[in-house]
A and B are shown apart, each in its own frame.
Chain A
């Protein structure tokens, strides 16, 4: 420990030391470091007792896939396939991702003035065959993850009771919730930074800046 840990987002976006994106990220260096630490805490946990690594990577692959974030989906599915039982599970994750992929956010508000903004949409349940393969606990996690990804305002106490009834503990539910919510953050950070990186070549901000400097030096 104490060695420099690789940064997943830098790897995914091929961000090199000193590059424009590296400078942008290091402008909020504490955030940058802790985004990675949260990833480490979720996927190399000190204590995986409440949620197994197999469960963590399967859920992460499903959630990244539902967001259509290809780089992160590949990453989590790859990590899943390295685990015992992972390759077979990855097949189910793939088919359930296809079944569950819709567009959000949607869902209902508490009855009242916001009710006209209610928006219907899929209430996902794992396919019967998948459910049999995943078992009650992981099936319930997938269904809860889908709820959090696409219709977070539909979340309810009953949804947590469903998790408890399926064998989740209080500690496990907190970790599961953090995992799905973190992924919702991570996919957007990757999407946003990818777009920002792409915008460089179009606006050539740095080149324009250098030209302006050069012009200034010449005048």
Chain B
């Protein structure tokens, strides 16, 4: 009988943070010895074989491959659309709303790096979704949260607010896809393992 992996010595973080947390799985990841060409293709970057998260997801390599390629295009494609900092803000607000401490730590750090607005990002983590981040960031945050509600309640109001803050169609589409994508990521990170404290 297969069992989950317990981590009795781990003390998972209990608050949102921009610190560099770790993550450990509750199910056995694959090992490098298990990997076939199909799995390597699923990992996309060979270096991801060092990550227990990706090695666990490699149990379904075709889904992992498509997910990774979509992720990279949504967040890293530099061709127009939303500035990187605001894509990361959208991911952070989504993760804050769903309650994924690990995801929020990674993407709040990226938001800070790309925006140089570390204190605003920290207020979003500390004070929650009511934090006033200025009009444009508030519009991105509100839109991400509205789309993250289940059922989603993203519509005319959110789009009008984004447009009022200067976002064009491509930028609004990036708000939608970054927030939607973190509704995917949060659920994997939260349910397949647990975060570990910053070193």
The reply to whether A41 and B63 contact each other, CB–CB distance below 8 Å, is yes
A164 within 8 Å of B by Cβ?
yes
Mask for B142-155, Cβ within 8 A of A = 1, else 0? Answer: 00000111111011
Q: Number of residues in B with C-beta < 8 Å to the partner?
A: 73
Among residues of B, the one whose C-beta sits closest to the C-beta of A159 is: B191
Given known pairs A27-B80, A113-B14, the reply for A188 and B180 (CB within 8 Å) is yes
B79 cross-chain contacts in A, Cβ below 8 A: 27
Asked if A161 is an interface residue, CB under 8 A from chain B, the answer is yes
Measured CB to CB, the nearest residue on chain A to B75 is A31
Specify the main secondary structure of chain B where it touches its partner. helix
Within 8 A of B (CB), among A162-216: 164, 169-171, 173-175, 177-178, 180-182, 184-189, 191-193, 195-196, 198-199, 202-203, 205
**Contacts of A11-69 to chain B: CB distance below 8 A:** 20, 24-25, 27-31, 33-35, 37-38, 40-42, 45-46, 66-69
How many residue pairs link A and B with beta carbons under 8 A? The number is 218
Q: Please determine whether A199 and B128 come into contact, CB atoms closer than 8 angstroms.
A: no
Q: Please, how many angstroms separate the alpha-carbon atoms of A193 and B160 in the complex?
A: 14
B106-114, B116-124, B132-140, B171-179: which lies at the interface = B171-179
Chain A: interface size category? 35 or more
What's the nearest-Cβ distance from chain B to residue A160, in Å?
A: 5
Task: From the candidates A35, A46, A67, A113, name the one contacting B150 in the complex (CB within 8 A).
Answer: A67
B187–A28 contact, CB under 8 A? Answer: no
- Closest B residue to A150 using CB positions: B150
Interface pick from A79-87, A101-109, A128-136: A101-109
Does A157 interact with chain B (Cβ within 8 Å)? yes
Check B173 against A27 for contact (C-beta < 8 Å). yes
On whether the beta carbons of A199 and B27 are closer than 8 Å, the reply is no
Does the CB pair A161–B4 fall under 8 Å?
yes
The answer, yes or no, to whether A1 is at the interface (CB within 8 Å) is no
**Cross-chain contact A191 with B154 (CB below 8 angstroms):** yes
Question: Are B26's CB and A178's CB within 8 A?
Answer: no
| CB-defined contacts of A173 to chain B, threshold 8 Å | 27, 192
**Does any Cβ of B come within 8 Å of A111's Cβ?**
yes
1/0 per position for B81-107, CB-CB distance to A under 8 A? 100000000000000011111000000
Q: Which of A30, A40, A117, A148 is in CB contact (< 8 Å) with B69?
A: A30
Q: Is B43 interfacial (CB-CB < 8 Å)? A: no
Tell me, in angstroms, the Cα distance from A69 to B12 when the chains sit together: 35
- B77 at the binding interface (Cβ < 8 Å): yes
Cα-based distance from A113 to B126 in the complex (angstroms): 10
Asked if A120 is at the interface (CB within 8 A of a chain B CB), the reply is: no
Q: Quick check: is A2 within 8 A (CB to CB) of the other chain?
A: no
B99 — which chain A residues lie within 8 A by C-beta? Answer: 105, 107, 109, 114, 117, 152-153
Q: What are 24 A-B contacts with C-beta separation under 8 Å? A: A20-B169, A24-B173, A27-B81, A28-B81, A28-B174, A34-B65, A109-B14, A114-B16, A148-B187, A148-B191, A150-B150, A152-B187, A155-B190, A164-B4, A170-B59, A174-B57, A174-B59, A178-B64, A182-B63, A182-B184, A185-B184, A187-B152, A191-B152, A203-B163
